[in-house]
Amino acid sequence: MLSLQSSMAMKPGLGMRGMEFGDQNETPSLMKPEDIIVNQELDPLIVLFFGRRGDGKTLCMTATLNIMLQSYIKHGKRFSQRYPDGFKLATNYHVQFADFSDPHIVDMLSDMDDRYRRMCLGIDEILSYVPSRRTMARVNVNFATNFLVQIRKFDIELITTTQRPQNIDSQMLDQIDLFVMPVLFNKQWIPEKELWTHKRTGKMIYRATSCRLLIWDWWGTFTGKQYSKRWPPMQSGEPPDWTMDYHGLHELFPWFSTKEAIPAIWHHKREDTLAKSWAKKMEEVAQEFVGEEIAEDDAKGVKPPATVLELISAQPDEITIPHLMDKAVLLDKSITSQKLRDMVEGAGYSIFKDGREGYCAVRSTKESS
């Protein structure tokens, strides 16, 4: 189980903004995620985890998302059909406990879509979207200059990662509240579990189970330290303003994938790269669930679909593309999300975006009649 250890004092608040850090000489306290006190007030933070590859940036970002999830559930703030004003978790990399994972989420947010509100958002490798050398990509400009500046109006907290913060667009750097460098420790031999299924493989792996977060309020927003400092934080000699420890991180390994390629938003083969990366992950997730459905149909004498077109023909009037993709990749490993959407549209459906489910489809009245 994840736990947090820090010298900070807690005050009522929602999300990471609810943490008021005290004197680092205070006695550290150990908390569980659900112990975080929340209320309806939200002053969103933008947090950047930085460090060299393999230092635990994505792991700690995922841990933070899980901490927020447990807190939302405990205090009744989690999004649900009964509570549509609750908070959602969204990521651009595959996280099993997230409400919404899509590699195009930055594209969606940059369009200022009003449906994307009240989220705790995790973006891996932010440098793929907002590098210091300004590109002509419209999404790059919109994300750095429009969405981030107005993030408070959307009730969104952003957690992101990069190896070198000095390479990020200066307009985004100005919007980052906390710079965090993770330091992994407490390595142990732990039982390996399969990704997504969480079944034990019978092997033991040597992994860090804890991480110390070195946290800088670089612009002095909360500490008042607004004097000039040598950039970047890890080379400045400036001591961190706070520290916090995460424990039990090994429990998260089967819940997210760090093997997904995140191509630059302006790369000419971006869609092909994403399709290959995500199709494989969707197939792994689908095996456990879709395989059982097909086996059930066989037992009843129902012939399962042999092609993607047959699969689409067997769908109800309302479908979600990500769920359909789970089944489609079992029939055609080369299929992409865009190709599937085209095929669904060709079968008489209307395609639209949905904040929770991604792309959805509804069979047109003319076709269904």
Of the listed ranges 83-92, 96-105, 229-238, 269-278, the one predicted with least confidence: 269-278
User: What are residue 343's phi and psi, to 5 degrees?
Assistant: -70, -40
Q: How many residues does the chain have?
A: 369
d(CA 259, CA 194): 14
Share of the chain above pLDDT 70, in %: 69
Backbone angles phi, psi at 196, to 5 degrees: 75, -45
Overall pTM surpassing 0.75 (yes/no): no
Question: Which helix (H) or strand (E) segment is 67 a member of?
Answer: helix 57-74
- Burial readout 194-218 (b: 16 or more C-beta within 10 A, e: otherwise): ebbeeeeeeeeeebbbbbbbbbbbb
* Mean per-residue pLDDT, 52-60: 92
How many Å apart are CA 59 and CA 65, to the nearest integer? 10
* CB contact at 8 A, 20 and 9: yes
Separation between Cα atoms, residue 281 and residue 358, nearest integer Å: 16
**In this structure, are residues 111 and 80 in contact, taking their beta carbons and an 8 Å threshold?**
no
CB 34 within 8 A of CB 76: no
The full set of domains in the chain, from first to last, is 3-255 (3.40.50), 278-368 (1.10.10)
Of the pLDDT bands very low, low, confident and very high (cuts 50, 70, 90), residue 369 is very low
Specify burial of residue 19 (Cβ count, 10 A radius: 0-12, 13-18, 19+): buried
- Give pLDDT, residue 220: 93
